C-alpha cells in the first residue's frame, strides 16, 4: 500500500521560507511517477503547485515559479517543497501526491496546514 | 486563478442524478486527459475518474466521466447522502506547462 506523509513546520513568519518533506512508502521515488505538491487555502479550492520526476525534471505553476523549488531525494525516498518570500496568502493545507501519469493523482498525503503569521 | 470553470454548486434528491461540467480550452482539456476528485469534508481529495472516463478499482459505476472538445463532465447517479462533497476536475495545461484544477463544485443531496 502506497503511503505519503508530509512533515515540516506548521507556523512560518512572513517573508520567511516554507520547507516541507513528503516521505513515500510502498513505492520508490525512482519509479515512473511524478511527485506533486498541491495546496488548498482554508475554505478555498485546490491549487497545483508543481511536480518532480526522479531525474530531477520539474514543472511549476507560473504564478509561483519564482519562489518555489521541488526536489526528489532517491536515497531517502522522499521529495520536498521549498517556498520562499511567504505572505499570508500562502497559508494553506499542503498535500503531497503521487501522479502515476496523465494527471492520475492516485495517492495523497493527509495534508499539513501551514500558517504564515508573525 | 483557475482556467477550468465549474458550477459552484449542484443539488438533487437522494436517488437522483447530477452532472458537473468542467469548461476549459484547447490548451488544457482540448488536448489532455481529465481527472476528477471527490473531497469529503475534512479529508484529502480522492481520485474518482482518470483519463477522462476510467474509474479506479473500488469506485462504483455510479460515477462516470466524459469529455467533448474543451469540456468534461462528471456524472453521479443514484445519489446518496455520502456523496455530499466538493468535486474538482483537473488536467494539464500545455500553454502553462503546469497542472490546473477546476474551481470546484459542492454537491448537496
Q: Each residue of A29-52: pLDDT tens digit?
A: 999 899 999 999 999 999 999 999
Give me the residue from A50, A105, A108 closest to B35, CB to CB.
A105
Cell numbers at A41, concatenated: 487555502
Answer whether residue B109 shows pLDDT above 60. Answer: yes
CA dist B77 and B63 (Å) reads: 7
B chain contacts of residue A105, beta-carbon cutoff 8 Å: 35, 37, 45, 47, 90
Burial A84-105 (b: 16+ CB within 10 A, else e): eebeeebbbbbbbbbbbeebbb
Q: What is the pLDDT averaged over residues B28-45? A: 97
Cell numbers at B2, concatenated: 483557475
Answer whether residue B1 shows pLDDT above 80. Answer: no
B chain contacts of residue A110, beta-carbon cutoff 8 Å: 44
A chain contacts of residue B88, beta-carbon cutoff 8 Å: 45-46
A48·B101 Cβ contact <8 A: yes
Inform me whether the C-beta atom of residue A103 falls under 8 Å from chain B C-beta atoms: yes
CA distances from A9 to A20, A64, A94, A115 (A): 7, 20, 12, 9
Q: What is the pLDDT averaged over residues B17-37? A: 97
Inform me whether the C-beta atom of residue A1 falls under 8 Å from chain B C-beta atoms: no
A102·B47 Cβ contact <8 A: no
Name the DSSP letter for residue A53.
-
Mention every residue, 6+ apart, whose C-beta is less than 8 A from residue A14.
A86, A87, A88, A116, A117, A118
Structural contact between residues B99 and B93, judged by C-beta atoms closer than 8 angstroms: yes
pLDDT, one tens digit per residue, over A74-83 is 999 999 999 9
pLDDT at site B15: 97
Mention every residue, 6+ apart, whose C-beta is less than 8 A from residue A118.
A13, A14
CA dist A28 and A40 (Å) reads: 26
Q: How many other CB atoms are found less than 10 A from the CB of residue B42?
A: 6
Cell numbers at B52, concatenated: 477522462
CA distances from A65 to A50, A60, A69, B96 (A): 9, 6, 8, 11
Cell numbers at A85, concatenated: 518570500
Query: Could you tell me which of A109, A108, A112 has the C-alpha nearest to residue A8?
Result: A112
Answer whether residue B2 shows pLDDT above 70. Answer: no
Name the DSSP letter for residue B54.
B
B chain contacts of residue A106, beta-carbon cutoff 8 Å: 47, 50, 56
Inform me whether the C-beta atom of residue A11 falls under 8 Å from chain B C-beta atoms: no
Gyration radius of chain A's alpha carbons:
13
Amino acid at each position: 500500500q502506497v503511503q505519503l506523509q508530509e512533515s515540516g513546520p506548521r507556523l512560518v513568519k512572513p517573508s520567511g521560507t516554507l520547507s516541507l518533506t513528503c516521505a513515500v512508502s510502498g513505492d520508490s521515488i525512482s519509479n515512473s511517477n511524478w511527485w506533486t505538491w498541491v495546496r488548498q487555502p482554508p475554505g478555498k479550492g485546490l491549487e497545483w503547485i508543481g511536480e518532480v520526476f526522479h531525474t530531477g525534471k520539474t514543472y511549476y505553476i507560473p504564478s509561483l515559479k519564482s519562489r518555489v523549488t521541488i526536489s526528489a531525494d532517491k536515497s531517502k525516498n522522499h521529495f520536498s517543497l521549498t517556498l520562499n518570500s511567504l505572505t499570508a496568502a500562502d497559508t494553506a493545507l499542503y498535500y503531497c501526491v503521487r501522479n502515476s501519469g496523465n494527471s492520475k493523482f492516485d495517492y495523497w498525503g493527509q495534508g499539513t496546514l501551514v500558517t504564515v503569521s508573525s | 486563478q483557475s482556467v477550468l470553470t465549474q458550477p459552484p454548486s449542484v443539488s438533487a434528491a437522494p436517488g437522483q442524478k447530477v452532472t458537473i461540467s468542467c469548461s476549459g480550452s484547447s490548451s488544457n482539456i482540448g488536448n489532455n486527459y481529465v481527472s476528477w476528485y471527490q473531497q469529503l469534508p475534512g479529508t484529502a481529495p480522492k481520485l474518482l475518474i482518470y483519463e477522462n472516463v476510467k474509474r479506479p478499482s473500488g469506485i462504483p459505476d455510479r460515477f462516470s466521466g466524459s469529455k467533448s472538445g474543451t469540456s468534461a463532465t462528471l456524472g453521479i447517479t443514484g445519489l446518496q447522502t455520502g456523496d455530499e462533497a466538493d468535486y474538482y476536475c483537473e488536467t494539464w495545461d500545455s500553454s502553462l506547462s503546469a497542472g490546473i484544477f477546476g474551481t470546484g463544485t459542492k454537491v448537496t443531496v
